[in-house]
Chains A and B, each alone.
Chain A
C-alpha cells in the first residue's frame, strides 16, 4: 500500500509553489530513454529553459518518460490527470503516442499543447478545442518540400518513406504541391537500415531529384549510403533527417542537401537569437528544431497564464488561441483548427567550423496552414 502511494508522489517536480495562488500544473510526457530519446530530451530542455527564464513561480512541471511506448504514455497520462491533477499536458514526440493520449486527455477537459507530433486526424475530423499544436501539422514540411521541388523545376522525383502512416502522409504531402512526374515511389520497411536496393532502383531510374522521409537512424543510414553510392541527384527532405542532433552523425554526406523547416537558428529575430545563445550557454550544445518547439510551447503557455486563469477554461483557451508570445519563428498564429499558420523555409546543410548545421536559403511557403483545417468542426 505504502509502495503505491510512494510511487505516485515521487515524480520529478520543478518550480516553487507560491503561497497564495494554486500553481498551474503541467504534465510533460516525452521520450527520455530508449530509442529516440534525443528528441524528447531536446523538447524538455527547450521547454524548461523557457520556464526557467520566465521565473514564474506559478508553474509546476512534472516530467515523465514514455519510453516511446504507447501503453506507457497512456498510463502516464492517466497518472498525471488522475493523481497529479495537472491542468495542461504536453511533450509527446511521436504521432502514434499522441493518438493514444490526446483524444482521451482532451475529452477529460484538460488542455494539450503539442510540441512536435501533428497527426492529420487531430487536425481534421478529430480536432478539439483544447488541443493546440505549436509545431506543425505532420504534412507541412513535406508539402513545403513539394512546393520547393516545383519551384526549382524538378520534373521527375523519386520519393520514398517507411511503410507506416506517417510515411504515407509524407508522400501524400509531397505530392500535394509537387506537380511533376514520379520516377518511383517506394515504401521501405520501418526501421530499415540498409538502402542498397532502393539506391540501385534510384540509380536505374531516370529521376532528376530524390525526396525522402526517413526519421531517426533510418535517415542517417540512407544519407551515408546515398553519398557512397555515386548517385548524384539533388535531395530534398523534411528537417527531421537534418536536425542538429543527427547531422553530426551523418557528416559530410549531408552537406548541401536542401531540407524544409519552420525554424532554423539563423532566423533573424531577437527571441531566436536570445534562445540560441541561452540554450547553448545552458546545455552546451546547439539547439535543435525540437528544442525550439519545446521553447515556443512553454512561452505560449506562459503567455496564456499571464492573461487568464486555467480554471476558467474558455478564457484560457482564448488566451492560448491569441498566441500572444514572441516565437523563435517570428510570426506565429493559430488557424481555426488550432494548428500553426506559419512560414516554412528551405535550409541547406553547411559546415560551420567543425559543426554541421543549416542555413536558410529560401522560403518554401508563406503563411501555410494545413490541408485538414476545413474538416475540423468546433
Chain B
C-alpha cells in the first residue's frame, strides 16, 4: 500500500472522526452538565438531516439548509428538554435510558409519518463537489475536506465558548457542582435548556453535513448514536477534550481497521476467507477498542467522575 493511499485513508478517518465529534460533543456536554444519558441524540441528528433535505429541496440553497438543520434540531431539542427531559434529571440512569429510548420511537415513526418511508434527497452543493488535488498528488473530495475544516472549527469554537464566555463558565460550574451554580444565581432551568439545545444543534449540523454524502432516511441516527457513545465513553464522559480525542481514535480505528485487518489476515489464511474474517474483525474493532480502554481506565481516557 502506497504512502499516498495511507495518507488519504488517514484523512478519511479524520473526517469520520470529526463528524463523530459533533455528535459526541453534545452528548458529553449533556451528560457532564445534567448527568443525563440521552439515547435520543441520534434522533436530533436525523431531524437535522431531514430539515436540511426539506429546505434544500424547496429553496435549492445548501446554506439555508444548514441553517434550517441547526435551527430545527435546536428547536426540537429545546422542546424535548422542556417537555420531557427536564423531568428526568433527578432520576437514575435506568429511567433516562428508557425514556429517551421511547423518544427514539416517537421521533423515528413521527418522521416516517411526515416524510414517508423513502429516503430523501440531499446533495453536496456544486461549489464543493468533486475532488481537489492536494500537495503530493492526492485527489481528495473537496466536500470531505470542508467537513474536516468545519468540524475542527466547531471544536475550536466549543473550546472557546467553554473557556472564555459567561455561559461557558456556567457550564463548567455545572459540571463540577450543581448546587454551586444555583448559589451563583444562575437560572439552572434556562442553562439546561440552552445546553441541551446547543447539543441538539451540533447533532443536527452533523446530520445535515453528513446527510449530503449519505442517505437521509429514518433510522439514520441510531448507528451514529452508538458510535458517539463509544466515543464519549472512550474519552471519558463529560470531557469535551476526551470527546475530540475519542472521536478521532474511533474514526481512525474504524477506517484503518477496515483496510488493514483483511490485509493482516491474508498473512495467515487464504484471501477469500481472510477478506471475510478481516471484515468481521473490523466491524468489531471499535468495540474492542472501547472495551480495552475501559478495562485499563474504567472512567475513560479523560474522565474524572464515575
Contact = CB atoms under 8 A, between A and B. Distances in A.
A220 B215 CA distance: 5
A185 to B, nearest CB: 6
A245 interface: yes
Interface string B254-280: 011011001000000001100110011
A229 B141 contact: yes
A187 B276 contact: yes
Contacts of A11: none
B15 A189 contact: no
A38 B259 contact: no
Interface string B132-161: 000000010101100000000000000000
B163 interface: no
Nearest to A182: B271
Contact of A193 (B5, B223, B262): B223
B5 A200 contact: yes
A229 B215 contact: no
Nearest to B116: A38
Interface in A14-53: 33-35, 37-38, 41
Given A220-B119, A246-B118, A187 B5 contact: no
Interface stretch (B86-94, B121-129, B233-241, B298-306): B121-129
Interface stretch (A134-142, A247-255, A340-348, A359-367): A247-255
B279 A225 contact: no
Given A41-B117, A186-B275, A230 B139 contact: yes
B214 A196 contact: no
B263 to A, nearest CB: 11
A284 B124 CA distance: 29
B213 interface: yes
Given A221-B215, A224-B213, A230-B130, A248 B121 contact: yes
A186 B258 CA distance: 9
B214 A224 contact: yes
Contact of B215 (A186, A188, A249): A249
A228 B118 contact: no
Contacts of B216: 249
Contacts of B187: none
Nearest to A248: B121
Contacts of B123: 224, 251-253
Contacts of A378: none
B129 A204 contact: no
Interface in A199-228: 200-201, 203-204, 216-218, 220-221, 224-225, 227-228
A246 B143 CA distance: 23
Contacts of B16: 194, 196
Contact of B118 (A188, A229, A249): A249
B117 A37 contact: yes
B279 A217 contact: no
A368 interface: no
A197 B9 contact: yes
B9 A200 contact: yes
A317 interface: no
Nearest to A253: B123
B143 A245 contact: no
B117 A246 contact: no
- Top 7 nearest A-B pairs (CB, nearest first) are A230-B131, A217-B215, A220-B215, A249-B119, A196-B12, A187-B279, A221-B214
28 contacts: A38-B118, A185-B272, A186-B279, A187-B279, A189-B258, A189-B282, A189-B283, A193-B214, A193-B215, A193-B223, A194-B12, A196-B15, A197-B12, A197-B258, A200-B5, A201-B5, A204-B2, A216-B215, A217-B119, A217-B214, A224-B213, A228-B131, A228-B144, A230-B139, A249-B119, A249-B215, A249-B217, A250-B121
Interface of A: 33-35, 37-38, 41, 163, 168, 185-191, 193-194, 196-198, 200-201, 203-204, 216-218, 220-221, 224-225, 227-230, 245-246, 248-253
Given A33-B109, A197-B259, A221-B214, 12 more contacts: A41-B117, A185-B272, A186-B262, A187-B276, A194-B214, A216-B215, A224-B215, A230-B139, A245-B118, A246-B119, A250-B121, A251-B121
